[in-house]
Structure 1
């Protein structure tokens, strides 16, 4: 597998009018952000504890629709030394939820020339279905390396044995789908799980750390080489979280802790100046964080062609 030319595809497909992958180097480590598509969800999930008028005002300021909009789904592939690491695996296919524009990861990895059999490690930020579903698509497991290592926090696996949905605010059908997908994943891949408690080095310069909050085992991945740094923050950061880090996202199982984690990570990123990528930030979700009074400011990178 090579990421050398992954950002410069050949002849574009007629049904893909926008880029779906973006490559960059973090020192000697190669990073590829891949879009798994978009997930249409109600805008109330951006801040279900917020005053509706304040939420409507923010949406207006951002030129976003008031009822529902498309959440990005981003996945990252990292090449460090001889290891090829897939960070999260996208939504996969769930016909019961009718989400046809998501679950694009496997065909986009193939289009980028990435052979599933070359992946040595998978890191899962957490076990929500839009992060693990790609591994459950028919025919995917058979293509994976039989010695594949799947790294996930022990607290995350424990949580999904009897998950608590009492503090979330999700559309109907999602809790059942999340339970079923996590259960199926644990059954199919249990023998390949590499559990860690708080922090684990997956490869040289690639470290996964448990943050909790969004889910008890939610984790972020830090990539470092030379003077370059990048954090893949999973679901700890959303677009609205820069202006309103205290707004609760509907998928957060412990929203108060998730808000504390979000503020801590954004402060850290603003202080260090390292790059941020997150699952649900608009593709390619590569940028910096700046402090803006009592809130934060998202500073997207200029695309490098």
Structure 2
């Protein structure tokens, strides 16, 4: 990957009427945000622990429909030195859940001129199916390097041996699909796993750190070079989380801890002025965080053409 390549006209199909990749330079490190599509989910997933009227009021303030919310699905490709690192792998394909607008990663990597075989490392923020499913699509494993290193927290691998869904609030079918995807991923890619406890340097300037909360092994990736900083926060931060960091996301396995993690990371981002990218913020999800009283404020970057 290079920024020269990613600025070339897309090779995607004519029906791709929206942008699906955005390049950011972090010192000497190249970062490319790629959209895997969107997940349409019930709005109660944004805050199932609050009064529906409060949730409806927030949606109305944001000019969003009251009944369904499109969750963006973003992954990043990082180039540091000789390493090409893919952070998360998108949804893939699950016909049982009827999510045809997601699972676009492989074709959009192709459109960006990124060969799956060039990826030296894969970092998983966690093992929910919208982060590992792209690896389970037919033909993908055969395109990957035989020496691919997959970095994931040991606590995450352990959790999915016997996952606890007692605190989540998911639509029907999702727990079974999540469990099945994690089990298949662990079986298919066991020999590639490079498990870490708390933190691991994946490449110069690229560090993955376990935060817990969303899942026990949920992790974030920090990129730093030449005084520039960027954090890929995975599922720790959602669009509603700036105004209401205490609202519980339906996919959080430990919602109270997830809220504490969210506040801690948002404060760090505001203090360090690091760029933020997150899985489910609207594409390209690149921006800064400001503190606004007891709440936070999302400040998207001006697109750089």
Q: TM-score range by the shorter chain?
A: over 0.9
**Could you tell me which residue of structure 1 aligns to residue 130 of structure 2?**
130
SS for the counterpart of 2:44 is helix
**Could you tell me which residue of structure 1 aligns to residue 84 of structure 2?**
84
SS for the counterpart of 1:213 is coil
Q: 1:154 to 1:61 in 2, by over 3 A?
A: same
- Segments of 5+ residues of structure 1 without an aligned counterpart are none
Q: Alignment length, in residue pairs?
A: 305
Rounded to whole Å, the distance in 1 between the matches of 2:293 and 2:132 is: 37
1:262 is aligned to 2:262? yes
SS for the counterpart of 2:216 is coil
**Could you tell me which residue of structure 1 aligns to residue 181 of structure 2?**
181
Rounded to whole Å, the distance in 1 between the matches of 2:96 and 2:11 is: 34
Rounded to whole Å, the distance in 1 between the matches of 2:141 and 2:222 is: 26
Residue correspondence of structure 1 range 182-261 to structure 2 within 5 A: 182-261=182-261
**Could you tell me which residue of structure 2 aligns to residue 157 of structure 1?**
157
**Could you tell me which residue of structure 2 aligns to residue 17 of structure 1?**
17
What per-residue deviation string (whole Å, max 9, x for no partner) do you get for residues 64-108 of structure 1? 111112110000000000000000000000011110000000000
Rounded to whole Å, the distance in 1 between the matches of 2:205 and 2:74 is: 21
Residue correspondence of structure 1 range 47-86 to structure 2 within 5 A: 47-86=47-86
User: How far 1:11 sits from its partner (Å)?
Assistant: 6.5
1:292 is aligned to 2:292? yes
**Could you tell me which residue of structure 2 aligns to residue 36 of structure 1?**
36
Rounded to whole Å, the distance in 1 between the matches of 2:265 and 2:281 is: 15
- Segments of 5+ residues of structure 2 without an aligned counterpart are none
Contact 1:7 1:21 survives alignment (8 Å): no
Contact 2:10 2:112 survives alignment (8 Å): no
Rounded to whole Å, the distance in 1 between the matches of 2:132 and 2:7 is: 24
Q: TM-score, normalised by structure 2?
A: 0.99
Rounded to whole Å, the distance in 2 between the matches of 1:65 and 1:89 is: 28
Rounded to whole Å, the distance in 1 between the matches of 2:257 and 2:10 is: 44
Cα RMSD of the aligned pairs, angstroms, is 0.9
User: How far 1:14 sits from its partner (Å)?
Assistant: 2.1
1:101 is aligned to 2:120? no
Contact 2:10 2:111 survives alignment (8 Å): no
Rounded to whole Å, the distance in 2 between the matches of 1:218 and 1:71 is: 19
What per-residue deviation string (whole Å, max 9, x for no partner) do you get for residues 204-238 of structure 1? 00000000000000000000000100000000000
SS for the counterpart of 2:188 is helix
Q: TM-score, normalised by structure 1?
A: 0.99
Contact 1:2 1:114 survives alignment (8 Å): no
